[in-house]
Structure 1
Amino acid sequence: MGLPCPQDGLYYFSSHTASWEEAQRFCKLLNADLVVINSSEEKKYLHVDMKNTCWIGLHDSVEEGKWHWVDGTDYDSTVKFWRSGQPNGNRNENCAAMTSDGEWHDWPCSSRHRLICEKSV
């Protein structure tokens, strides 16, 4: 049995891969954004059936080390689920993805991963 949805939102899990920028553009076509994870309940809901790494709506491409959510949510006040040692400060890794264990990694934005879009209802 699946977990109840933790908030009023709709999620789209892609079966295709894309770069981070392509993923965000795709979500925008759905009137959505790459997912913004606001709680441990939401993270659990999202990764319960994940079998692949998926892009999330988090990046530090404007300024190294200053992470931003695509919807403007304040990064400093939100929960974080970085894997130990992540983000590792590699200047070529400016976009975040969530792995099947629910932990976040920074990746080169040109990497190709599946994606999760989130749309408010």
Structure 2
Amino acid sequence: MNWAESEQNCSGMGSQLVVINSKAEQEFLYEQIKQPPRRDDYYIGLFAEKVGQWQWVDKTPYNVTAAFWRKHEPSRGVGENCTVIQNPEKNLNNWNDVRSDKEHYRICEASAVTV
């Protein structure tokens, strides 16, 4: 699905595209995407309405020092306003900015529910 469809798919399940708040969460996702079935790219909940102005889908403030961009990313390419985690990468820095109309897999997250 493209980014908008991915966001809608997550919200339809009562969740959202994943918001990565810590190195521990990035490490967890890094290990999870290596598991079968392996896919290449996964949308996460980071996007830019304006070039270079990144924001999370849940309005969590974007902190560039807590970002995990690949080397030379974000590249600010034409229309590259959404973020994917790329697999495989050899380190935790595996985010890449991509066009929102490209089809990729997605990672959704939901709040924990106590029953």
TM range (shorter): 0.7 to 0.9
Distance 2:9 2:65 in 1: 25
| Residue number in structure 2 paired with 1:10 | none
Q: Which moved more, 1:85-94 or 1:42-51?
A: 42-51
Which amino acid counterpart does residue 76 of structure 2 have in structure 1? G
Structure 2 spans left out of the alignment, 5+ residues: none
Q: Kindly tell me the number of residue pairs found equivalent between the two proteins.
A: 103
Distance 1:78 1:26 in 2: 29
Structure 1 outlier segments of 4+, above 3 Å: none
TM-score of the superposed pair, with normalisation by structure 2: 0.84
| Residue number in structure 2 paired with 1:49 | 32
Structure 1 spans left out of the alignment, 5+ residues: 1-17
Cα deviation for residue 78 of structure 1 reads 6.3
Q: Is the 8 A contact 1:35 1:118 kept in 2?
A: yes
Residue 65 and residue 77 in structure 1: after superposition, are their counterparts in 2 closer, same or farther (change >3 A)?
closer
TM-score of the superposed pair, with normalisation by structure 1: 0.80
Distance 1:78 1:29 in 2: 32
Provide, for residues 59-87 of structure 1, a one-character-per-residue CA deviation record: whole Å limited to 9, x for no partner.
Answer: 01x21110010000000376100001000
Which fold has the larger relative contact order, with Cα–Cα distance below 8 Å and residues 6 or more apart in sequence?
1
Cα deviation for residue 49 of structure 1 reads 3.1
